[in-house]
Amino acid sequence: MNSRKMNINTNLVFLRKANRMTLEEVADKINVSRQAVAKWENGDSVPDIINCVSLADLYDVSVDDLLHFDSHTEEANIAPKGKHLFGTTVIGERGQVVIPKQARDLLKLKAGDTLVVLGDENPGTKGIALIPSELFMKATKELVDAVYPKSDK
């Protein structure tokens, strides 16, 4: 049996507030009563699987995170579906960064793969992103082809 703790009630409260929704709005969107949502958030009951799927879709999170995400042991909040927080890494003396194993495994990155490093220095959005070079080149080609279509003349 899976020993992971269910944290659905605290996750439901967090997600509703993070999405700036009222109990009534959540209830209306998933077609249940306001009282049902309140009971789920208070931990008095839990939603059935159909409502868990509806809630996960409403908040754009996985059902697994909706049920099991533990804000007391994680460094960040519940991530949207398909988005991941793999932890932290330290920049080495020569600028090297180790990509966490979980990220390498999930994204199928291996030694020798080429990544493009993108940066944003604007206040509020400052950061870097790593993108597989093949994906970057494909997107660049599609953009160039859209802006400068080849003429058949």
Domains of the chain: 8-68 (1.10.260.40), 101-147 (no CATH)
The stretch 90-112 carries a mean pLDDT of 89
Strands (E), the chain: 115-120, 127-132
* pLDDT given for residue 73 in this prediction: 65
* pLDDT given for residue 75 in this prediction: 54
* pLDDT given for residue 12 in this prediction: 95
Instruction: Classify burial at 37, counting beta carbons within 10 Å of its beta carbon; exposed 0-12, middle 13-18, buried 19 or more.
Output: buried
The whole model's pTM is what? 0.56
Across the chain, what does the average pLDDT equal? 86
Residues in the chain: 153
Given a cut of 50, is residue 3 above it in pLDDT? no
Q: Which residue has the higher pLDDT, 77 or 17?
A: 17
